[in-house]
């Protein structure tokens, strides 16, 4: 089924990465699953099948736009119904949403998969935005740990920076796709997640374009609502020096 739907340039997970996700779903049996970064809907469709088989109830997948980047004639999520036809899960495929909208997405969720903007600090910010809406087992899977090694100009180092800040017993990297996918255990005190985020946010940001004002206010609102003031203060300090198109990376 994967071979029937996958095409080069689709930017999707690989078969062995899907097996990693399936095994986690079988182990933790989440009722409700959240995906950030829908694209074609390939991963969404397979996750829905795994959830359904493991007694799950609902899947929500979001994307910040509705044009599939691998084929501009197609909307995001176009593969979902082909891969998971007539399924019984409560499935919501929401366009024009980011993790910053998490408060209004109808959580909580037991497990999540983040595969959206891989430029640092987005994977850290996405994790912070959804963490308050995660219930046990609070397992968050991230894609593209190895992306920075595959890019000559490495924008996509966000997952790697985040992974490196987590304690060894709260992170697990798969060997799938040459070590390109991992899961985090967010079953830690809020203060510990703040410490991790503070270390991660301090690492050099690798944005293609600076965060616009609308996103900055969304991020600040998440941090203000769910975390201690020290995290927002730290974010503001990092923002003042690192919210730049990276001259080294962009060649500007």
Site for ligand SAM in 208-237 (CB under 6 A): none
Least distance in angstroms from the C-beta of 113 to ligand SAM: 7
Q: Which of 120, 183, 172 is nearest to 147 (CA)?
A: 120
Among 30, 32, 80, 115, binds ligand SAM (CB under 6 A): 115
Q: What are phi and psi of 206, to 5 degrees?
A: -125, 50
Q: Which window, 37-45, 83-91, 146-154, 232-240, contacts ligand SAM (CB under 6 A)?
A: 37-45
**177 contributes a contact to ligand SAM by CB under 6 A:** no
The yes or no reply on residue 83 touching ligand SAM (CB under 6 A) is no
How many residues lie near ligand SAM (CB under 6 A)?
A: 21
Find the part of the chain contacting ligand SAM (CB under 6 A) among 63-71, 160-168, 192-200, 243-251: 63-71
Least Å distance between CB 189 and ligand SAM? 27
- Contact with ligand SAM (CB under 6 A) among 21, 32, 34, 37: 37
State how beta strands 109-114 and 32-36 pair. Answer: parallel
Sheet containing strand 58-63, strands side by side: 90-95, 58-63, 32-36, 109-114, 134-143, 181-185, 171-173
**Binding range to ligand SAM, per CB under 6 A, among 112-120, 194-202, 216-224, 226-234:** 112-120
Residues 6 or more apart whose Cβ sits within 8 Å of residue 110: 28, 30, 31, 32, 33, 134, 135, 136, 137, 138, 139
Does 13 sit near ligand SAM (CB under 6 A)? yes
Which among 136, 187, 194 has a CA at the least distance from the CA of 165? Answer: 194
Evaluate whether 137 touches 30 at the Cβ level (below 8 Å): yes
- Nearby residues of 247 by Cβ (< 8 Å), 6 or more positions away: none
Binding site for ligand SAM (CB under 6 A): 11-13, 36-40, 42-43, 62-65, 69, 76, 98, 115-117, 122
């Amino acid at each position: 089924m994967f071979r029937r739907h996958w095409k080069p340039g689709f930017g999707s997970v690989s078969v062995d990465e899907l097996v990693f996700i399936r095994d986690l779903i079988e182990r933790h049996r989440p009722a409700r699953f959240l995906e950030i970064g829908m694209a074609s809907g390939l991963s969404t469709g397979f996750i829905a099948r795994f959830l359904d088989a493991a007694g799950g109830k609902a899947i929500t997948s979001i994307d910040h736009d509705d044009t599939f980047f691998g084929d501009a004639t197609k909307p995001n999520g176009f593969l979902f119904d082909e891969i998971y036809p007539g399924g019984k899960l409560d499935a919501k495929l929401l366009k024009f949403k980011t993790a910053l909208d998490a408060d209004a997405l109808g959580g909580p969720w037991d497990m999540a998969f983040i595969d959206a903007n891989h430029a640092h600090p987005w994977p850290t910010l996405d994790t912070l935005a959804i963490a308050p809406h995660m219930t046990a087992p609070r397992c968050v899977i991230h894609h593209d740990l190895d992306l920075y090694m595959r890019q000559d100009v490495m924008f996509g180092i966000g997952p790697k920076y985040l992974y490196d800040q987590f304690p060894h017993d709260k992170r697990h990297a798969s060997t799938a796709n040459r070590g390109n996918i991992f899961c985090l255990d967010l079953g830690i005190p809020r203060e510990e997640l703040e410490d991790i985020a503070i270390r991660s946010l301090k690492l050099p940001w690798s944005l293609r374009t600076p965060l616009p004002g609308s996103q900055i206010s969304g991020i600040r609102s998440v941090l203000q609502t769910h975390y201690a003031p020290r995290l927002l203060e730290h974010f503001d300090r990092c923002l003042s020096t690192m919210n730049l198109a990276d001259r080294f990376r962009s060649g500007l």
